[in-house]
């Protein structure tokens, strides 16, 4: 419970991000625009993203900010964030601000690619929408490259080139072509150890063979006559005894 006298802050609107949450050097995902738009004489190149329209980027205070020159032609809802007013337009949040003394709107909501979950393990990786990314994907791409399969750029993004390389690997090694890092593929790449079931079956077969050999050796030793045993002496006859007396 909040302490007495301390105001309770309202929850942030969906998609809210702090100003400047994109690191320096951030590059927007590439999408083919519907038509060509020449660069702005001062702001530079325009980019296009579904749901945002045309936008441009700028480095401000060590962060990459994304701006649009105007709100989309849709019904936008005003959202209060403390003393700040944001605009929610078709699920995208915009923050009104100024850039070089010109009214612009910062795109607050992250892209689908930015919101994608980071993969923690290579097992189960496959092509998803949005595309899975992270160090685990980069490690998988490096492994596939070690098998001489072309994954395109080793960028940590599981795209169609990575899926194609994985399918070729599964085809060449006669595995089921799932396009995903399933257990047989993970064992081939060394991500997982050999199948424990196969290992236990092999150990059981080895034990059975050893037991069979031991039983055969025992039976063979029991069937052979005892060469060292001496025969019982023949009993003396009565005639022989009397003659000796």
Averaged confidence pLDDT in the chain? 75
pLDDT at 169: 95
pLDDT (tens digit per residue) in 1-47: 445 555 555 565 554 555 555 666 666 667 788 888 898 888 888 88
The dihedral sign for the CA sequence 132, 137, 138, 143? negative
pLDDT (tens digit per residue) in 142-200: 999 999 999 988 878 788 889 999 999 999 999 999 999 999 999 999 988 876 535 44
Alpha carbon distance 152, 141 (integer Å): 9
Closest CA to 12 of 66, 82, 106: 82
Q: Measured in whole angstroms, how far is the alpha carbon of residue 92 from the centre of its chain? A: 28
pLDDT at 115: 55
Tokens of 153: 């750029």
Arithmetic mean of pLDDT, 110-127:
73
Tokens of 55: 């936008």
Query: How many percent of the chain have pLDDT more than 90?
Result: 20
Domain segments of the chain: what residues? Answer: 13-111, 116-197
Alpha carbon distance 34, 161 (integer Å): 24
User: Could you identify the residue written with the tokens 């702001």?
Assistant: 43
Domain 116-197 in CATH 1.10.287.110:
no
Alpha carbon distance 188, 174 (integer Å): 11
Arithmetic mean of pLDDT, 114-120:
62
Closest CA to 111 of 155, 71, 66, 72: 66
């Amino acid at each position: 419970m909040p302490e007495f006298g301390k105001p309770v802050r309202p929850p942030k609107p969906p998609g809210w991000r702090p100003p400047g949450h994109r690191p320096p050097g951030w590059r927007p995902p590439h999408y083919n625009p519907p038509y060509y738009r020449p660069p702005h004489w001062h702001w530079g190149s325009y980019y296009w993203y579904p749901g945002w329209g045309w936008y441009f980027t700028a480095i401000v205070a060590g962060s990459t900010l994304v701006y649009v020159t105007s709100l989309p032609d849709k019904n936008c809802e005003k959202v209060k964030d403390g003393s700040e007013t944001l605009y929610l337009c078709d699920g995208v949040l915009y923050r009104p601000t100024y850039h070089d003394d010109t009214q612009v709107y910062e795109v607050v909501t992250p892209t689908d690619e930015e919101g994608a979950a980071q993969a923690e393990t290579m097992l189960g990786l496959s092509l998803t929408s949005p595309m899975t990314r992270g160090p685990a994907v980069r490690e998988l791409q490096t492994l596939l490259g070690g098998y001489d399969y072309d994954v395109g750029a080793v960028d940590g993004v599981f795209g169609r080139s990575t899926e194609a390389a994985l399918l070729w690997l599964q085809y060449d090694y006669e595995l089921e072509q799932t396009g995903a890092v399933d257990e047989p593929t993970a064992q081939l790449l060394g991500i997982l150890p050999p199948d424990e079931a196969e290992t236990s079956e092999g150990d059981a077969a080895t034990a059975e063979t050893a037991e069979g050999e031991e039983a055969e050796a025992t039976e063979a030793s029991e069937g052979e006559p005892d060469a060292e045993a001496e025969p019982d002496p023949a009993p003396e006859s009565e005639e022989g005894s009397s003659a000796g007396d």
